[in-house]
Amino acid sequence: MGKQPHVVVIPYPAQGHVAPLLKLATKIAKHGIKVTFVNTEFIHAKIMASTPDKAEELSPVRLVSFPDGLEEGDDRNDFIKARNSMFRVMPGHLKDLIEKINKSSDSEQITCVIADISVKWALEVAQSMGIPRAVVIPYGPACLVLALHIPKLLEAGLIDTNGTALNDGLISLSEESLAWNGKEFPWSFPVDSNIEKLFFEFATAVAQTVRISNWVLSNSFYELDSSSCDLVPSILPIGPLLVSNHSGHFAGSLRPEDSTCLSWLDKQPMGSVIYVALGSITTLNQQQFDELALGLESSCQPFLWIVRSDLVTESFRGFPDGFKERIGSRGKIVEWAPQEKVLANSSLACFLSHCGWNSTMEGLSMGVPFLCWPYFGDQYQNKNYICEGWKIGLELTPDENGVVTRHEIQKKVKKLLSDDGIKANSVKLKEMARRSLVEGGSSFNNFQKFIVQMKSS
């Protein structure tokens, strides 16, 4: 009799990576496959502190954790330090874990290691142990295509060895997919050249990581960007990965969700609320924070605004004078929300978003039009897809000083809410996403294919 399959799943330790991989892990476990999910101890503690007591008992996924090699007070936002430290200590822990599982039971063995594209070392450990490997792409297929084209871009003299575009024109990778602006590559980070270098290094390593993987799982669906998917023959789009497809368990939030916003949403008129959430790491300066507050105030719509405790960079001086009194119950402000449940609420009118890939997938899966405010990484190209490709949103344009003003916010909210074309496209895309996940749909079929192949590998 064959051994019972057991997979190990390893995300990159950040909100936008942990959540989609945990959703994938849960989906796999629902197919009767044992799943061990590996976090760093730091992330594990955050998940446990943010999760209701029963989740651990109910979850079909077993969570374990490794040290990341950093000291307690070390800055885990220091990408370079964190990357080096994890690379030093985590491969050894992974090897030990796999050996321990394989030894502990005659009927079980690790069938597959599933790792985030940014955790190449885990796939290398699996390769060295002869274990099949799946890589998960937590960003869109267009970014994957770009990363895989880096050698060609270098050869054509379109970028230099630091990843900087050598001229101003747009870069097109195929006739059908959206072109890239050379100032908006996912690795572009003009304020810190060391970080930009690290991001470009990550992007350059993608081709090799894909090469050593038996499966390339993408949190997207084929119909959403078929031209990019067609450029990567090995890609298996299996998304959108949504928590709402599963019941209870770990949602993968690193912060406690404030559910009071759901009952507040239930009291708002249908299609009226602006949901404002800029993801887990985006920050604003006080001036920009004030403009956003005053823009929401002048929009005259109800709004739900996620104000994380670390949203404002320098010392936070609070909301503009009298803001909270003036908006009264028209505005609800929380530190962290159950985002998918918020987006699914019928009171929503639009999603003012930084266009992180998870937020993009979640918003479009719920049919909510976007107001786009990208900051860095893949967010600019995601915004281009939202506004130009799929036509389900509008962009907030900064003024000559780089500030998105209250007038811009007020103007674009009004424009978006009266645009029936955008609303209709959003509903169409929601339906496309839904169809891809149900029996016979493209993501459904790709996921089945992956499970069958993995079980028999």
> Footprint of ligand UDP on this chain (CB under 6 A)?
15-16, 19, 253, 277, 279-281, 306, 336-337, 339-340, 356-359, 362
DSSP class per residue in 296-358:
HHHH-S-EEEE--TTSBSS----SSTTHHHHHGGGEEEES---HHHHHTSTTEEEEEE---HH
Q: Which residue's CB is nearer to ligand UDP, number 15 or number 426?
A: 15
Taking the complex as a whole, how short is the minimal distance between the CB of residue 279 and ligand UDP, in angstroms? 3
> CA 79: distance to chain centroid?
17
DSSP class per residue in 1-50:
-PPEEEEEEE--SSHHHHHHHHHHHHHHHTTT-EEEEEEEHHHHHHHHHH
DSSP class per residue in 185-207:
-TT--TT-HHHHHHHHHHHHHHH
Taking the complex as a whole, how short is the minimal distance between the CB of residue 386 and ligand UDP, in angstroms? 12
Taking the complex as a whole, how short is the minimal distance between the CB of residue 257 and ligand UDP, in angstroms? 7
Taking the complex as a whole, how short is the minimal distance between the CB of residue 321 and ligand UDP, in angstroms? 26
Taking the complex as a whole, how short is the minimal distance between the CB of residue 139 and ligand UDP, in angstroms? 8
Residue 47 in contact with residue 63, Cβ under 8 Å? yes
Q: Which residue's CB is nearer to ligand UDP, number 288 or number 358?
A: 358
Q: Which residue's CB is nearer to ligand UDP, number 5 or number 303?
A: 303
Residue 343 in contact with residue 351, Cβ under 8 Å? yes
> CA 398: distance to chain centroid?
24
Taking the complex as a whole, how short is the minimal distance between the CB of residue 180 and ligand UDP, in angstroms? 19
Which residues make beta-bridge pairs with 353?
Answer: 277, 372
Q: Which residue's CB is nearer to ligand UDP, number 18 or number 153?
A: 18
DSSP state letter for 441: S
Taking the complex as a whole, how short is the minimal distance between the CB of residue 15 and ligand UDP, in angstroms? 5
Q: Which residue's CB is nearer to ligand UDP, number 302 or number 356?
A: 356
Q: Which residue's CB is nearer to ligand UDP, number 64 or number 281?
A: 281
DSSP class per residue in 125-180:
HHHHTT--EEEEE-S-HHHHHHHHTHHHHHHTTSB-TTS-BSSSSEE-SSSSSPPE
374's tokens: 């990208």
Q: Which residue's CB is nearer to ligand UDP, number 209 or number 379?
A: 379
Q: Which residue's CB is nearer to ligand UDP, number 39 or number 405?
A: 39
Taking the complex as a whole, how short is the minimal distance between the CB of residue 104 and ligand UDP, in angstroms? 34
- Indicate the SS3 state at residue 58: helix
